[in-house]
Amino acid sequence: MTNNKYGLASLRKQFGTDEKCLEFIFKTLHTMECTCGGTFKRKEGRRQWQCSKCRYQLAPTAGTIFHKSDTPLSLWFHAIMVFSNAKSGVSAKQMQRELEVTYKTAWRMLTLIRKALKQGDDTLHGDVEMDVGYFGGKRSAGRDNKDLSRVMKDKSVVIAAKERGGQIRAAVVADASAKTHGDFLGQNVSTKGTRLMTDATRVLNNVALGYDRYMVDHHMGEYVRGDIHVNSIETFWAHVKRSMRGTHKVVSKKYLQSYLDGFVFHANNQHTDRGRFEALLGTILHASA
C-alpha cells in the first residue's frame, strides 16, 4: 500500500540526508550516460559527477534554486514539503520556526520556491469561468463612497480563469479595462471549443466577441442559471483572501503575483500530499533559477 500522506516521517525516510537529495536531483535532471558513451560517476566528497571517459563534470544543482545557497539540501527539501502541505500559504515567520533558520533565510527560500512556480502557458478550453477580483489596499471608501476611486487605486486588479475540471490561471494586471481583459483572454483562453462563463460586465462585450459567451447578472441578483456561473472562481477568490489575511497579513503589489502563483499551484494540484510534494519538487527542479 502506498502512503498518500507526506509529512516529516516520509521526508526523513526519503530525503533525510543531503546525499539522498543530491542523488535525486541528479537522477531527475540527468542520465548516467554521457553523450561520449562514458558513464557519470559521483566525485568523492563533491557535489559533482564526472564522466568516466571524457572527464566532463556535471554539478546537478547548477541552474536550480539550490545552487548558490549555503542552506543544506535536506533543509531545502523540508521547506518544499512545508510549502506543499500549506494550502493556505506559509509565512516566512512560520517557515523560520519550522526550519530553525533565520528569518532572512526563510524569506529567501520562500521567495525562490514561489519564483519557480510559473503558471502554464497552454490555453484553457471547454467550460471556462472568468472573473476579476480586487486585492489589498487598507483605506475605507468613507461616507457615501466619496473616496472610492482613491481606495480602488490602492487595490491590485487580478483576473482569473478556470477551466472546469482543469486548471486555474490568475494574473495581476494593470487595470480592469476592456483591453486588459482582452489581452488576458487571448493569452489564456482558447476561442475554439470554449463556453466562456462571466458576469454580465459590459467591459467584456467587445473583447469577448470571438467567444461563445454565457453570462449571469450579479447586479440583478442572478448567480447561477443552470450550469452557467462563476462559482469556481468565487471559491478561489474567497480562499485566497482568507488565506492572505490569515497568513500574510499585508502583501505588497510587488509580491502579489508570486503569492498568487502559490495559490494557483495548490488549486491545480489537489491530489494527495505525496503527489503534490512530488509535483512541486519536479516543478522546482525543472524551473531555471
Instruction: Give the residue with the Cβ less far from Zn ion, 37 or 166.
Output: 37
Least Cβ distance, residue 170 to Zn ion (angstroms): 44
Q: Among residues 54 and 238, whose Cβ is nearest to Zn ion?
A: 54
Exactly one of 9, 32, 36, 174 binds Zn ion (CB under 5 A); that residue is 36
CA separation for the pair 160, 146 (Å, rounded)? 29
- Pick one of 10, 24, 38, 214: the residue that binds Zn ion (CB under 5 A): 38
Exactly one of 21, 22, 25, 34 binds Zn ion (CB under 5 A); which one? 34
Are the C-beta atoms of 61 and 25 separated by less than 8 Å? yes
Name the residue with cell 509580491.
Answer: 255
The interface region with Zn ion, picked from 14-22, 51-59, 61-69, 253-261 by CB under 5 A, is: 51-59
Q: Is 54 in the site for Zn ion (CB under 5 A)?
A: yes
In the region spanning residues 160 to 189, those forming contacts with Zn ion, defined by CB under 5 A, are none
CA 62: distance to chain centroid? Answer: 23
DSSP string covering 75-136: HHHHHHHHHHH-TT---HHHHHHHHT--HHHHHHHHHHHHHT-PPP-SPEEEEEEEEEEEE-
Min. distance of Cβ 66 from Zn ion in angstroms?
24
Residues 6+ apart with CB under 8 A from 208: 181, 182, 185, 196, 198
Record the cell numbers describing residue 35, joined without a space.
553523450
Between 26 and 277, whose beta carbon lies closer to Zn ion?
26
Q: Where are the alpha helices (DSSP H) in the chain?
A: 8-15, 18-29, 73-85, 92-99, 103-115, 148-154, 178-188, 231-243, 253-268, 273-286
Is residue 50 a contact point for Zn ion (CB under 5 A)? no
The minimum distance between CB 54 and Zn ion, in angstroms, equals 3
Looking at the Cβ atoms of 38 and 275, the one nearer to Zn ion is 38
Q: Are 171 and 158 in contact (CB under 8 A)?
A: yes
Rounded distance between C-alpha atoms, residue 40 and residue 37, angstroms = 10
CB of 60 to Zn ion, least distance (A): 16
Q: Should residue 32 be labelled a site residue for Zn ion when binding is judged by CB under 5 A?
A: no
Q: Does 90 bind Zn ion (CB under 5 A)?
A: no
Burial class (CB in 10 A: 0-12, 13-18, 19+), 10: middle
Name which of 33 and 175 has its Cβ closer to Zn ion.
33
- Amino acid identity for residue 275 in this structure: G
Q: How far is the CB of 50 from Zn ion (least distance, A)?
A: 9
How many chain residues are in contact with Zn ion, going by CB under 5 A? 7
Closest to Zn ion by CB, 39 vs 190, is 39
Among the listed ranges 35-43, 158-166, 189-197, 215-223, the one in contact with Zn ion (CB under 5 A) is 35-43
Q: How far apart are CA 160 and CA 38, in angstroms?
A: 49
Kindly state the smallest distance separating residue 39's Cβ from Zn ion, in Å.
8
Interface with Zn ion (CB under 5 A): 34, 36, 38, 51, 53-54, 56
